[in-house]
Structure 1
């Protein structure tokens, strides 16, 4: 019989991890946290209780469940199997869940490392952004064993509206890649539509009010059109992180011999946004790129 989960360690208190760990504390779990910037961990404990620790290994000691939400593959390796990594402090029978958007290859590596230590593992990237994390409304796509998934799902439900097991280890990351591929094309389409409406002299808000009721409607349109019209791009997932994710998608596509021409093109458009100084702008800033290109064309024509 599986041991119940009462003590959890949360590693990585960024814009996503901070509120996610908070939901677990509010649910009455004992939460032990680690963050690379110690001041952030201290602030979290001040807000939510629990305890902060000097290393992932220390935070993971005696924890039934360790959750990781950091930046990229290298960050995950550092906090799990690197020096003072969490796996060196986790007891047999515990669980490791990686919420980082990372490669399927890394998920398979961690699954092997965990199996060797009799530790359960799930790769469990999330979608929904900072707003979803704060509101407890994330979508989580998981890869791993059904028994481990069943054990951890009730805890993930504290900050998610949908938690789904997609298959064996790596399947969660592959599903997140599909998510990012679809978003890239949707945001570019929305940016082009709003750019076209502006050039045509249409009332862009009115346009969105009409077309959002039909087949063109999307989450991106509903949640990003107002800030895009206002030319504000401080409201979501950063371009730098999207390019990291798309790089993972494109690398995996090469392995699978899958063709992603639109994704590759939008990735280059995001590179243009970075050149404009928009690495930390949200992903809807593709519209700023179109406006910049349009203004350059207009100046050259004059």
Structure 2
């Protein structure tokens, strides 16, 4: 059992921190909104602290799951950031979906302080966090990973070291690139089936047993066909992630034509008022 801190109690971090406490770890939490931290303590026990530095003090591992690069820098190297409170030999594990650049920068900053850093974005969405079955892709030093991995498994079903600092974030970019193209294709398929007068449920029941099968098909086709989009990762967050992917592609020379198109299509969904709809809402622009 470890003494840990968790920074950021959003839809992902709140249940992830809860799994840590349920597994017997000693958990201190921090959230920008103190009310959310107090709510978590009332529900799970543990303790809350008013700053990341105070939450990190005396902890072996400090976890974070915040919004973006700027939020991450704020809770690590900003005023009262966690790095100023971490003891030498402690380890920071970041579950934010952020850029590989910030991961590499924070890895250097942590090591200058005698600490470790792992970039560890997750896949599985809110349901995966609540059920403790996330997939975690990590970047960093192997020794640091081996320290973190048993604790990460409190809320994960799969965890793997992908390479040095930044590799976790790069792997998450691959994940988002694949999902973006897949959801657009599924949207077009369902839309086509409707226009062709087919029984959509029968179509999906048949083709999901073949090469077209996917998690999105199995878990989202019913709600997509019904025009219901309140079941997961929001369009605003997907656009943030795709912007990270496209920015990295400009640096490494990768060609991402489909990803760029889908990013624009999500922009159309936002313009329809779908900023907080889940990512399966791409079908809405086809059927408006």
Q: Secondary structure at the match of 2:86?
A: coil
Q: What is the correspondence of 1:211-226 to structure 2 with a 5 Å cutoff? A: 211-226=207-222
Provide Cα deviations, 1:96-115, integer angstroms capped at 9, x if missing partner.
00000000000000000011
Which of 179, 184, 191 does residue 188 from structure 1 map onto? 184
1:164, 1:6 → 2: CA distance?
20
Any residues of structure 2 matched to 1:171-210 within 5 Å, and which?
A: 171-210=167-206
Aligned to 1:157: 153
- Following the alignment from structure 1 to structure 2, what is the Cα–Cα distance between the partners of residues 139 and 251? 24
Which residue of structure 2 aligns with residue 109 of structure 1?
105
1:6 to partner: Cα distance? 1.6
Q: Which residue of 2 aligns with 1:139?
A: 135
Distance in 1 (alpha carbons) for counterparts of 2:49 and 2:201: 49
2:221 aligned with 1:228, yes or no? Answer: no
Partner of 2:241: 245
Q: Normalized against structure 1, the TM-score is what?
A: 0.95
Q: Does 1:59 align with 2:18?
A: no
Question: How far apart, in 2, do the equivalents of 1:223 and 1:155 lie?
Answer: 29
Asked if residue 74 in structure 1 is aligned to residue 43 in structure 2, the reply is: no
TM-score normalised per structure 2: 0.99
Whole-angstrom distance in 2 between the partners of 1:46 and 1:226:
37
Matched, 1:264 2:260: yes
- Answering whether residue 42 of structure 2 is matched by residue 46 of structure 1, we say yes
Distance in 2 between residues matched to 1:273 and 1:229, nearest whole Å: 16
CA drift of 1:226 comes to 1.1
Say if 2:286 is the partner of 1:282.
no
Q: Deviations over 1:136-180 (max 9, x none)?
A: 110000000000101110011110010000000000000000000
Structure 1 distance, partners of 2:102, 2:250, is 17
| CA RMSD after TM alignment | 0.6
Distance in 2 between residues matched to 1:204 and 1:43, nearest whole Å = 43
Q: 1:17 aligns with which of 13, 21, 26?
A: 13
Q: Distance in 2 between matches of 1:209 and 1:244?
A: 33
Partner SS state of residue 165, structure 1: strand
For 1:204 and 1:146, locate their aligned partners in 2 and report how far apart those are by CA, in whole Å: 47
Cα distance between partner residues in 1 of 2:178 and 2:230: 21
Measure, in 2, the Cα distance between the counterparts of 1:223 and 1:110. Answer: 36
Which has more radius of gyration? 1
SS at the partner of 1:31? strand
Name the CA distance, whole Å, in 1 between partners of 2:33 and 2:244.
26
Deviation at 1:229, TM superposition (A): 1.3
For structure 1, list consecutive stretches of 5 or more residues without a partner in the other structure.
293-302
Aligned length: 288
Q: What is the rounded CA distance, in whole Å, between the counterparts of 1:290 and 1:230 in structure 2?
A: 13
